[in-house]
Structure 1
């Protein structure tokens, strides 16, 4: 799970452009199991689930997602949290883990 908070309203257009491109890339990526996005308390969250770590790493390091990560700090702040569950994670459970264990990026 990633949670991102844009620095201000001026950053929203670029943020949304990068987000929509990254979500489209994720939805067609090899090994993707699920893609979800929600706004919670002004923080924009994405939750992705992958069949394997290799496909997830290839996604993170390529295309629209890589471009978004290169601009991350100029657009805002956020935290990430990832783990390897035994079954499809529940949004609320992962959100609670993200709040407790999320790492600032």
Structure 2
């Protein structure tokens, strides 16, 4: 399965409001997207983090490039910063494992 991890930090008060206006529909889209096996969100330190597990990387990319998530990605540079990391795995990481992975191996945006 393909694991996708994000840790995003809004860039201020107004960015925080816009972040949530975009993040909630994108998360709901992920929950019902084809190929989604697991979807969770949690604040870890200063980051709003997500863990999603997918049947395949291709199905994750289909979600990533459509609907509410695409709209959120187009606004990303104005509203947030933070790392993302994706990888193949046999298991879904714990929150501690996920945070360690995005801080050690994640690509900053």
Is the TM-score greater than 0.5? yes
Cα RMSD (Å): 1.0
- TM-score, normalised by the number of residues in structure 2: 0.91
Instruction: List runs of 5+ in structure 2 lacking aligned partners.
Output: none
Matched with 1:91 is 95
Per-residue CA deviation, residues 2-47 of structure 1 (Å, 9 max, x unaligned), is: 1111110111221101110001000000000111101111211111
Structure 2 contact 44–99 (Cα < 8 Å) conserved? no
Q: Which has the higher contact order (CA 8 A, sep 6+)?
A: 2
* Count of residue pairs brought into register by the alignment: 105
- TM-score, normalised by the number of residues in structure 1: 0.94
Structure having the larger proportion of residues in strand = 2
| Stretches (4+) displaced over 4 A | none
Is 2:52 the partner of 1:48?
A: yes
Instruction: List runs of 5+ in structure 1 lacking aligned partners.
Output: none
